Amino acid sequence: MSATPSSRRGGAILITGGAGYVGSHVVLQLTERGERVVVLDDLSTGHAQAVLGAELVVGDVGDAATVARVLRDYAVDTVLHLAARTIAPESVRDPLRYYAGNTCATHTLLSCCAQAGVSNFVFSSSAAVYGMPASGIAREDTPTAPINPYGASKLMSEWMLRDLAAATGLRYAVLRYFNVAGSDLRGRIGHSTRNATLLIKAACEVATGKRESIAVYGTDFATPDGTGVRDYIHVDDLARAHADALDYLRRGGEPVVLNCGYGRGASVREVLRALERVHGAPIPVVEHPRRVGDPPSLIADAYRIRELLGWAPRCDDIDLIVASSLAWERSLGEQRG
């Protein structure tokens, strides 16, 4: 879906974390359709060169003065909030960093948005809010039971947004990401985070000689091949979900929480086999015991986003996801070489 020209008049769109992996893909899609976008990013994990077609303001989303200035100077009427710390194991080791960087920073941002009269808000949340659902499949009404501070920090932010909207009439959409992977199909931007923990990114680093081996945590889960099953969504499809959510809110849509996934999973072994097919050679694998808190399977029930937003994925193919990731990883090697 795309917005009509009349719906684009007015203020700018602020994208926090727009220099990061997912954020940069959202920026690219929105600027390509003619939106006026400003990015706020502290560049702690993002990259300035990934911001294409938008103005970048370097700053912290938890800094009220900076946020208020950006909202005012750019006449922002819509915020897409993607800035966050996202590594679940790190959140267990350093929980206060996650509550500060995610929950408290979101509080600051929402306070500034309320004062500035922002109309629409799209929040980047996570499947981590569900914890370990017994069936392995999560619907939006599945009870939330996060098992780490990362998931808890996201859920607290959802609650703040919900309650603010009830008090002020702010229109919002919460997008609960499942496992994001892949890179821009034209090779313009991609996943450039150093020391990344995501499986496909790490496996591509092994394939390109940047890591010695890929670690597989747990081979005795109650899944078809013993390894964990996850719902992998291509970053381009996820970015399109943000654009579709924005269009929905502009049409006057009610507050909504939506899963962002394909509704089917791939095991760790299946992902690695896909990489080996695309790469044309095996990669070294080291098996480890399960990590505490890893669910055997976590798959989205993704019916609602298709029905409500008309969102239609275009990259629902594990080989395509892996191939775009590997192509980007190879291009990074050429850039650094």
Amino acid identity at 323: A
Which of the residues are catalytic? 150
Q: Which residues have C-beta within 8 Å of that of residue 232, sequence separation ≥ 6?
A: 178, 179, 180, 181, 200, 262, 265, 266, 271, 318, 321
Helix axis angle for 21-32 and 235-250, nearest 10°, is: 60
Instruction: List the structure tokens of 12.
Output: 């700018």
Judge whether 216 and 287 are in contact, CB under 8 Å.
Answer: yes
Instruction: Give the closest residue to 189 by CA, choosing from 125, 233, 236, 231.
Output: 236
The β-bridge relationship of strands 229-230 and 266-267 is antiparallel
CA 168 – CA 97 distance, rounded (Å): 29
Residues in the chain: 337
Amino acid identity at 155: L
